[in-house]
Chains A and B, each alone.
Chain A
Amino acid sequence: MTDAGPPPDPVLGAHKPVYGLERAQNENPLLEGLEGERRAPPVALVVFGASGDLTARKLMPAIDRLACRRLLPAAFAVVGVARTEWSDDDFRSRMREAVKDAGPEWEAITSRFRYVAGDYAEPATFEQLQSVLDDLDRTVGTAGNRVYYLATVPTVFGPVTRALGDHGMVQPASRESFVRVVVEKPFGHDLASAHALDAELHEVLAEDQIYRIDHYLGKETVQNVLALRFANAIFEPVWNRRYVDNVQITVAESVGVGHRAGFYEQAGALRDIVQNHLLQVLAITAMEPPAVIDSQGIRDEKVKALRAVDVLGREEVLDEVVRAQYDGGWVEGEEVKGYREEDGVALGSPTETYVAMRVFVDNWRWAGVPFYLRTGKRLPKRMTEVAMEFRDVPHLPFARDLSRGLRRNALVLRIQPDEGITLRFGAKVPGQAFRVRTVSMDFSYGAAFVEEPPAAYERLLLDVMVGDPTLFIRTDEVAEAWRIVEPILDSWADDGVPLARYAAGTWGPTAADHLLEREGRHWRSP
C-alpha cells in the first residue's frame, strides 16, 4: 500500500463514481451511503406567534426530535416573534420547558434562539427582525435561508406576509438561498375568503414559496396509503367500482371542544376537519396513480380526485349530510358535558360537532361507489381509518344458516392510533359442518418496523427546510375542497338542515346510521 491514497477497487470498479477527480465541485462525498436521510440545510426558522400554544406544543418538540435524529445543521436558529414582551432569555427558557425530558442537545440549540417582541402592524418589528436575521447569518451561518412559520391567528397571515414583502424579506438573498412561508390551516373560512387569502399571499410570494400545512398529511400512515396502493400489485386491481361496494372514512375524536371554543364556534366540524383532513384522506384514497411520487405528481392527482367529487345541491344536502352536536354523556369512563355547556360556547349554539355525509367521486374509477365520510367530537374513541368494503361474491354456495357470520370483505387502513392494515375475509370454522365466518388479518406497522416514525410536525418541518412541498396543500387543492364544502355551509346557513343530537360516547346520531341503512349498509364498528 502506498501513500497515494486508496487503490482502484477490483469489485466496485477502477474509477470511483462520485468523487476524486470526477467529483462535482459541489458534492459532499462524505454523504454517500448515508442514503435516504434528508438533512436540513443552514436555516433560520422564524416563528410568528412564538408565544402561542402551537409553538410550544408542536414545533419545539419537533425541532428537538430532528436534532436528536441528527437532521438539523449546526447553522440552525429559531427566531420567535410575538407581541408578548419577552427577552431572548425568556423565550429560550420557555422553549426549554416546552420539551420535556430533552437531552443536552436542547440546551445547546435553544442557546441560539432569538426573540423579537413587537406588533405585526409596526414596521419596527420587521426592522428588528431583519437585523436579528442578519446577525444570525454572520454569527451562526444561516446563509440567508429563511423559513417564516405563521403560527398565528389567520387574520394576520396577510398583514405579516405583506410586511415581510414591504421590508424586502421574502426575496432570497442569492441564487442558492431560499425563503419559504408556512401557513397553518384554516385556509379561509369559505371559498371567497380562501381566494382572498391566496391573493394576499401571492401579492408578495410565489406559489412555490408557500407551504400550507395540514398536519394530517405528515402522518406516516397517511403516506402509507400511497405505499400500499402504488407499491403493491395486489390492491390496485381491485381499487375501483368493479370490486368496491363503498368506502368509509372516519376521523373520530374522543375529546370535546376543550379550550378551542372561541375558534370552534366559528368553524364547526365541517370547516375544522372535513374541509381539510377528511377530504385530503379521501383524495389520497381515490386518486389515480401518479407517474412519479413527487410534489407535482401527487398534488395533480389529488386535485383531479377532488375535482371529481360531485358537489351537492342545496336539496341534496338534506338527504346526504347529517350534522349533529353532542350532549352530555360518558366517554372513556368519564362523565362529560354537552357541547352547549362547554366554556366559551353559546347557550343555543348551532355549531356542529359531528358531520356524516355521502359523496360520490364521479370518474371512471369510482362512478356509483358511495364514499361515506364522518367526523365528530366526543365519540367513543380517537381513531382515523379508511375502510374499503368490497362487493358481495356473485353467489354464496354455503347454506345460509352456516354462513350468517359472513360479512363483506374489507380492507381497512388504520391511520391512528393503532397504525396498520386489516383485511377482513371469510374462513371456515373448524368442524364437521361447512360453517364460514368472518375473520380479520392484522398488520401492525409498529410491530413490523423498528424505526420510530417521525411525528407529523417533525416530518413536515424538515420538508419545508429541504424544500419538498409534496405533503403540503397547493392552492388549487384548497379551492377544490371549498367547492365541495361550501354548498353545505350555504344550506346550513338557511337553517335548512336540522341539527341532530347525539350523546357523548356514542358513534353519532341515528340519522347518520340511516344514511347507510337506507341502502342496506352499515357503518363499521372501528
Chain B
Amino acid sequence: MAQPLTLPVTLSSWSGAQVRVAEVLAELEALRRPELMPATRTSVLTLVVVASSRDALGEAMAGVYELGGRHPARVLCLLPDRSGDGASSGLDAEVRLLGGEAEGQAVWFEDVELVVRGEAASHLDSLIEPFTLADLPVVVWFVGELPRVDDPLLRAADVVMVDARTFGDTECFDVLTELARRVAIVDLSWHRLQPWRELLAALFESPHTRPYLPGITSARVVGRTGPRHLLAGWIADRLDLPFSEVHVEPATHVSISLAGTLPATGQHGTFEVLRLSDERVVHTRTAVDGGPSSEMVVPLPPPTAGWGVAAALSHLDRDPVYERALRSAIAVAARH
C-alpha cells in the first residue's frame, strides 16, 4: 500500500496562560516569519478538535499529526475545562508550527491548542471563527463525547466528525441520527467498515452471482458493539431484509455472511467477507450451486488513526447511505 506517513516535527512553538484570542493569532502569524518561507503551505480545511479530556485529545492528535504531512490543515484543539469556578474563566494557549514532508516537499501546518476555562467553555463556537482559514471547510471532530443537538458548535461546522466505535454502545446511533438531520456527519467507524462494504458489494458483480441478490434471505454480522450493528443496519437497508433475518453476534473482528437462493431455480448460494484473525487481511468467499466458487484475500488499510482520519476527510459530504444505515442499526440493536 501507500508509503507510511512520517510524523511531522515541531518547528517552533509558543504558549501562554490567561491569554486573549488576538494574542494567539499574533503569535500564530509570528511563527511563520519569512526566514523559513520556502516551505509550502497548502491547507485544505480547518480541523477543530473538541475533546472531553486531555487523554482523548492526545489520541486524536496522534492521528492528526500522522496525517499532517499529507493532508495539511490548520488544527484548532479545544479542551473545555468546566471544573473551575467563575474566577478562573479564560484561555490558555499553545501554538505550534509543524513541518512534515509530502512527496519530497516540505509542508507546514499549524496547530493551536486552547484550554478553555469557566464560562468561556460554554461558548466554544465563538472561538472557532477567528481561527478558520478563508473559504475552506470547517470540520469539527468531537472526541470522547457527542454534542447535544442544540450545541452552538454545530453552527460553526460544515462537517461534524465522530468515531461511533469509541462510544462502545449503540445509543450513540440515536444521537447521530438526530445530528445527521442538521449537519453532514463523517463517522470514522463507518469509513473503517468501507472495505467490508466494497468487498461484499463486489461479490455480486459477477453474472453468476448477481441473480442471487434479490434472493438473499439472511445475514449474519459479527464484530464489536457498534460496528456490527452499523454494518447489519446497512445490509438490512440495502437488501430490504426483515430485521428478524439479520443476526449480529459479538466478536473481535468484523465478518459478514449472507445466504440466499436463486429465485428462479432455488439454487443456494453463500457470500462471505471474513476477517479471521489479527492479521490485517479479509477473505472473501462465494459458493453457488453449480457455479464457479471464488476466494480472494485482500489487505486492509493500515490500522493507524491517521489513515482513518484521512479516509474520512476525503468525503466531506452528507452520506445518505450512512444515514439510512444508522436508522436501521437502531432497529437491529433493538432486537439484539
Contacts and interface: CB of A to CB of B under 8 A. Distances in A.
Contacts of B204: 28, 30
A447 B103 contact: yes
B208 A141 contact: yes
Contact of A74 (B102, B294, B331): B294
B194 interface: yes
A447 B72 contact: yes
A419 interface: yes
Contacts of A32: 238, 321
Given A28-B201, A70-B202, A74-B286, A11 B67 contact: no
A413 to B, nearest CB: 16
A444 interface: yes
A31 B102 contact: no
Interface string B53-93: 00000000000000100111000000000000000000000
A3 interface: yes
A68 B2 CA distance: 10
B170 interface: no
Contacts of A37: 198
B198 A34 contact: yes
A246 to B, nearest CB: 27
B177 to A, nearest CB: 10
Interface in A164-200: 176
A270 B1 CA distance: 36
Contact of A68 (B67, B107, B244, B298): B298
A448 B281 contact: no
A103 B238 contact: no
Given A20-B240, A74-B286, A104-B281, A443 B321 contact: no
Interface residues of B, number: 71
Contacts of B3: 452
A107 B298 CA distance: 11
A28 B72 CA distance: 36
Contact of A141 (B72, B206, B236, B323): B206
Nearest to A451: B314
Contact of B284 (A41, A74, A143): A74
A1 B246 CA distance: 14
Q: Chain A interface mostly helix, strand, loop or mixed?
A: loop
A443 B200 CA distance: 38
Among A30, A37, A75, find the residue whose CB has the most chain B CB atoms closer than 10 A: A30
A448 B44 contact: yes
Given A30-B238, A141-B294, A447 B42 contact: yes
B310 A104 contact: no
Interface string A1-41: 10111110101100000011001011011111110010101
B102 A11 contact: no
Contact of B292 (A6, A28, A139, A445): A139
Contacts of B2: 452
B205 interface: yes
B102 A29 contact: no
B292 A140 contact: yes
A176 B197 CA distance: 25
A67 interface: yes
Interface of B: 1-3, 40, 42, 44, 67, 70-72, 102-105, 107, 181, 194-195, 197-208, 210, 213-214, 235-244, 279, 281, 284, 286, 291-292, 294-299, 310-311, 313-314, 319-324, 327-328, 330-331, 334-335
25 contacts: A5-B240, A6-B237, A6-B240, A6-B331, A29-B213, A30-B213, A30-B239, A32-B238, A34-B194, A34-B198, A67-B296, A70-B198, A70-B202, A107-B297, A139-B292, A141-B206, A141-B208, A442-B40, A444-B107, A446-B103, A447-B70, A447-B72, A447-B105, A450-B67, A450-B70
